[in-house]
Amino acid sequence: MYNLVNDKSGDGPIQPYDSSDSVDLYVISTREDSNFGQFIFTNAVLCAQDIVSKS
């Protein structure tokens, strides 16, 4: 599975979320056939895993 967590502000380019952004939680939804799941991650957890950029 591959997840991309990016932000697009206005007409600018897509860019990764940054630890300084005002996002507390990220909800990742996934589905395969009849299986569906949602995962909730804090900003701190995704920063620790290098998924969210650190400023």
d(CA 19, CA 21): 6
Residue type, 45: V
Residue 6 lies in a domain: no
Phi/psi of residue 48, nearest 5 degrees: -65, -30
pLDDT tens-digit series, residues 1-28? 666 677 777 788 888 888 888 888 999 8
Residue 37 lies in a domain: yes
pTM, 2 dp: 0.68
Collapsed DSSP state (helix, strand, coil) of residue 44: helix
pLDDT, average across residues 15-43: 89
pLDDT, average across residues 38-45: 93
Q: Is 49 a residue whose pLDDT tops 80?
A: yes
Residue 27 lies in a domain: yes
Domains identified in the chain, total number: 1
Question: Running DSSP on this structure, what letter comes out for residue 53?
Answer: B
Q: Is 34 a residue whose pLDDT tops 70?
A: yes
Distance in Å from the first CA to the final CA of the chain: 26
Tokens of 22: 């005002």
